[in-house]
């Protein structure tokens, strides 16, 4: 499995026969190739670029998103928190996004493939049912208090944490370094466009 941070909240995951994008928006055009699966966390311009989605979509591309996105994008399957779906040997689980104790019309995503569990926390705060997840990789947004985010990640205790959602619209590399210093789990800070093999 290969994971690539494209910048901001945009991710590319290559596993087996599948090319999966989460929140395609940021990054250089040459980093994008045809997708088999596209996941969109929220209806916001910096998480859901219809231009990018059109660029990477083929007749067989599957798009999954919350209802607010599915109403505006076709074809797109709406997912609800707690719902899961399989695409061949890849399982996708939609989880809620809770910020400041308020449910948002947005999703975070778990991807299970190649015996690995990858969790994109999106902008969500910690929820008690995440305590036993222990993902192989946790992509965590640095939107908000770095100390609070570090506490959330410490509860989840991933094998590897990768900070995202910094460096362009909000947040700095100093934020990513501060986050790294505050948690005991291993942290890898990627540069935009950098790829990591799991």
Print pLDDT tens along the chain (198 aa).
Answer: 999 999 999 999 999 999 999 999 999 999 999 999 999 999 888 888 999 999 999 999 999 999 999 999 999 999 999 999 999 999 999 998 877 556 678 999 999 999 999 999 887 766 666 677 889 999 999 988 899 889 889 888 999 999 999 987 778 999 999 999 999 999 999 999 999 999
Q: How are the residues of the chain apportioned to helix, strand and coil, as percentages rounded to the nearest 5?
A: 20, 35, 45
CA 92, CA 63: separation in Å to the nearest integer?
11
Strand partners, 110: 93, 119
Set out the domains of the chain in order of their start, with CATH numbers: 2-189 (3.60.15.10)
């Amino acid at each position: 499995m290969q994971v690539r941070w494209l910048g901001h909240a945009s991710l590319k995951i290559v596993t087996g026969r599948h090319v999966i994008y989460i929140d395609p928006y940021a990054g250089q055009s040459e980093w994008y190739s045809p997708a088999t699966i596209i996941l969109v966390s929220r209806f916001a311009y910096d998480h859901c670029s219809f231009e990018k989605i059109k660029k990477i979509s083929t007749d067989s591309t599957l798009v999954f998103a919350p209802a607010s996105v599915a109403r505006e994008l076709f074809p797109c399957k709406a997912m609800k928190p707690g719902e899961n779906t399989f695409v061949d040997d890849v399982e996708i689980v939609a989880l809620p996004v809770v910020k400041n104790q308020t449910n948002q019309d947005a999703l975070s995503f778990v991807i299970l493939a190649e015996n690995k569990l990858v969790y994109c926390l999106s902008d969500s705060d910690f929820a008690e049912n995440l305590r036993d997840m222990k993902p192989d990789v946790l992509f965590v947004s640095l939107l908000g208090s770095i100390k609070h985010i570090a506490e959330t990640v410490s509860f989840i205790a991933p094998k590897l944490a990768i900070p995202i959602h910094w460096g362009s619209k909000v947040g700095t590399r100093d934020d990513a370094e501060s986050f790294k210093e505050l948690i005991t789990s291993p942290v890898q800070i990627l540069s935009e466009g950098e790829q990591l093999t799991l």
